[in-house]
Amino acid sequence: MSRWHGLAWWAAALPALPIALLLAVRTHRQALRLAPAAGPVSGRAGMGLEGDPLRLLVLGESTVAGVGASCLEYALAGRLAAELAERYRRPVHWLACGENGITAHEACERLLPRVLEEPVDLALLVFGVNDTTHLSPASQWRSALETMATSLAKRGARVAFSSVPPLQHFFALPWLLRRLLGARARLLDAQLREVAQASGTVYCPMTLEFVRGYLAVDGYHPSSLGYRVWAQGLAQLLSPVRVD
């Protein structure tokens, strides 16, 4: 995201900010709050398969914490591990490290230190919703992405980013917030793509349709079915990753 794109967003958003702030406060008060998924934060998929296990780390915000699913095995990390195990015909050890409401900058301080000593072959980073709603500065967003990607790559992991979710399709948000935050999310996603290209990491555009069947009852997070469909798309995009 260039400085001018950011300024253009603010120029367009400023006239609507008084109404948008009122809508944001009302939405926050009325929002249905779901708990993170239950169950262990790590597991194994493909138990009957042979070969050395692929070690998968999924690091990020509330979707990594499994909000919207009953347990982490049926959330993003567990579903992705199952899809990768089937695709590669080898077991996958997965670890989910996520926190509801966290930004990328906060994850560098609180989440990244927890996983740097873990042996990881493939690391998927899932951020953007909270940085969009918190209006994180573009420079802070980019710096956090670069720090996480570089730190994990130095530990031998192949790093991939999941794209910033399209907030314009979050039906839990009022129309004006969907418009403003959707545009902001697209700007952050453009910068994420730049970071991925510059760092040689994998960029995975989100293929999940934001329709009610794929969303939890809060209209904000994926349902168990949504996580499965999302994981299926990610596994296809991550298939070129070298795992031998």
Specify the CATH number for the domain of residue 21.
3.40.50.1110
Grade residue 243 by pLDDT with cuts at 50, 70 and 90: very low
This prediction's pTM: 0.89
Q: Is residue 33 part of a domain?
A: no
Q: Is residue 90 part of a domain?
A: yes
Q: Which residues of 16-53 are buried (b: 16+ CB within 10 A; e: fewer)?
A: eeeebeebbeeeeeeeeebebbebebbbebbeeeeeeb
- Predicted confidence (pLDDT) per residue in 99-117, tens digit: 999 999 999 999 999 999 9
How many domains are contained in the chain?
1
What's the confidence (pLDDT) of residue 8? 67
Q: Is residue 198 part of a domain?
A: yes
Taking all residues of the chain, what is their mean pLDDT, rounded to a whole number? 89
Q: Is residue 244 part of a domain?
A: no
Q: Is residue 160 part of a domain?
A: yes
Grade residue 26 by pLDDT with cuts at 50, 70 and 90: confident
- Predicted confidence (pLDDT) per residue in 85-102, tens digit: 999 999 999 999 999 999
Half-sphere exposure of 227 (CA within 13 A, CB side): 27
Is the per-residue pLDDT at 63 higher than 50? yes
- Predicted confidence (pLDDT) per residue in 198-228, tens digit: 999 999 998 888 777 888 888 889 999 999 9
Instruction: Give the DSSP H or E segment for 187.
Output: helix 175-199
- Predicted confidence (pLDDT) per residue in 173-201, tens digit: 877 878 888 889 999 999 999 999 999 99
Is the per-residue pLDDT at 42 higher than 50? yes
Is the per-residue pLDDT at 45 higher than 80? yes
Instruction: Give the DSSP H or E segment for 20.
Output: helix 17-30
What's the confidence (pLDDT) of residue 11? 66
Q: Evaluate whether 89 touches 45 at the Cβ level (below 8 Å).
A: no
Q: Is residue 32 part of a domain?
A: no
Q: Is residue 242 part of a domain?
A: no
Q: Range of 85's domain?
A: 3-27+39-237
Q: Is residue 138 part of a domain?
A: yes
What's the confidence (pLDDT) of residue 105? 98
What's the confidence (pLDDT) of residue 102? 97
